[in-house]
Structure 1
């Protein structure tokens, strides 16, 4: 499934649009925004993780994933940044996994920064059931 780059993030995880009759996970990668002068993310950790994330989520049969840019460095550092305040994201990159649990959408796991660079850990995070995370 293709990577979603224009995903409209709702106000909270419980408002994510996950099918009610499916156990399919949905992933959100919170990434540093691209610097307009270079076209590359301003965060070196995001630059390192992007090839892993792109390869994982553009592969045949991969689950849905939205890539969300959290802002340029000054807006990201603001404690009131919407991703910090409403989504509890304090590091870039962060890969969060969401699923329906007892009928409600919940975050069931996340990988942060260098954890994403561990190919085996990333694959396990994407393919395992949430119970084994």
Structure 2
């Protein structure tokens, strides 16, 4: 399934009602690439996982958190409820409108496959 993009402006609370199973919080694209090197480092793995050709590929939406100054601001909307994102990249698993699990930053590449397949 393709990765969907949550088009800005994004209401963080409304993200809980999206049909996708996972939300991927990424840095904005600036000058053709994400400004965050950690986001760039996991992007290939994430795209392979969520754009598989089989019908069991999980669904996901990319949520861009802003350019670097916007993201670093304590007022960034994604730093507050309901997600309280502290690092990008972050992947949040959603079930029935609630967060049930998350992977953050460096753990994404090593734990993504198990995270996607787990029931929690």
TM-score by length of structure 2 reads 0.87
Q: CA RMSD in A?
A: 1.8
Q: How many residues align?
A: 116
Equivalent-residue separation in structure 1 for 2:73 and 2:64 (angstroms): 15
Aligned to 1:22: none
Deviations 1:82-118 (A, max 9, x none): 1112321110000000002xxxx21000000011111
Aligned to 2:73: 78
SS at match of 1:46: helix
Q: For structure 1, list consecutive stretches of 5 or more residues without a partner in the other structure.
A: 19-24
Aligned to 1:64: 59
Q: Shift of residue 12 of structure 1? A: 1.3
Structure 2 residue corresponding to 1:122, chosen from 105, 112, 119: 112
SS at match of 1:54: helix
SS at match of 1:89: coil
Structure 1 residue corresponding to 2:103, chosen from 95, 108, 111: 111
Q: Shift of residue 13 of structure 1? A: 6.1
Aligned to 2:3: 3
Deviations 1:6-38 (A, max 9, x none): 4564441685134xxxxxx71000000011x2x
Contact 2:16 2:98 (8 Å CA) reproduced: no
Pair member with larger Rg: 1
Which consecutive segments of 4 or more residues in structure 1 shift more than 6 A?
Answer: none
SS at match of 1:71: coil
Q: For structure 2, list consecutive stretches of 5 or more residues without a partner in the other structure.
A: none
Structure 2 residue corresponding to 1:44, chosen from 37, 43, 53: 37
